[in-house]
Amino acid sequence: MKLLEERIRQEGLILSAAVLKVDSFLNHQVDTQLALEIGREFGRLFADQRITKVLTIEASGIQFAMAAGIALNVPFVYAKKKKAVTLTEQVYSASVHSFTRQETYQVSISQQYLGPDDKVLIVDDFLATGAALIGLVDIVNESGAELAGVGCVIEKSFQEGRGLLEQKGVRVHSLARIASMSPGEIHFVDDPSPAYLVKEML
């Protein structure tokens, strides 16, 4: 998605060879029009799949699941990292290890909101190690729902997430695929010429 790659070039900040900061427009401050456009792109990619529900994980997946839900005209569900006091019924849950935070947490969703009649599109902001997304894939499989695929906004293609998902037979669409990056420079998979970031490093 060229519009997204362009914004990453203009506003992204590379903090290290593995950490890209996009919180001015995607995951802290959010450009609502861009988020809607991202949702429309997921809608186009999965238009033939008769999706009944979009699934994501709190918090940074919510704006993109919402946008995809708008485009596909279906509800979305977000997995919770803490058990809410109102979550009184049975849940599906999975254990997720966060390499960024060096902690393991449980994600869970109510069994009421996912079942064998559903066809699910999983959406998230980043695909890197794939840990959170694999947790969601396991939850979809446990529920008996059919998985149409995974849609990610930004993929760090130099990390193992896509490979792990594809080993599980999951169809993965990422809107911006980063082949490699280093401070001030980023290479996208579909555009092998180096692209220099417009913004200075912090």
Binding site for a second copy (CB under 8 A): 13, 15, 19-21, 23-25, 28-33, 35-36, 58-59, 62-63, 66-67, 69-70, 73-78, 80, 82, 84-89, 100-101, 109-110, 112-113, 202
Closest CA to 121 of 202, 80, 66, 81: 66
φ/ψ of 91, rounded to 5, equals: -125, 155
Please report, in range form, the residues annotated as the binding site for 5-phospho-alpha-D-ribose 1-diphosphate. 128-132
Residue number, 148 or 165, with CB nearest to a second copy: 148
Instruction: Confirm if 79 and 56 have CB atoms less than 8 A apart.
Output: yes
Residue number, 77 or 150, with CB nearest to a second copy: 77
φ/ψ of 55, rounded to 5, equals: -125, 135
Distance CA 156, CA 12 (A): 14
Residue number, 39 or 149, with CB nearest to a second copy: 39
Instruction: Confirm if 36 and 115 have CB atoms less than 8 A apart.
Output: no
CB of 21 to a second copy, least distance (A): 4
CB of 180 to a second copy, least distance (A): 18
22: three-class secondary structure by DSSP = coil
Residue number, 9 or 81, with CB nearest to a second copy: 81
CB of 68 to a second copy, least distance (A): 9
CB of 77 to a second copy, least distance (A): 5
Distance CA 11, CA 185 (A): 12
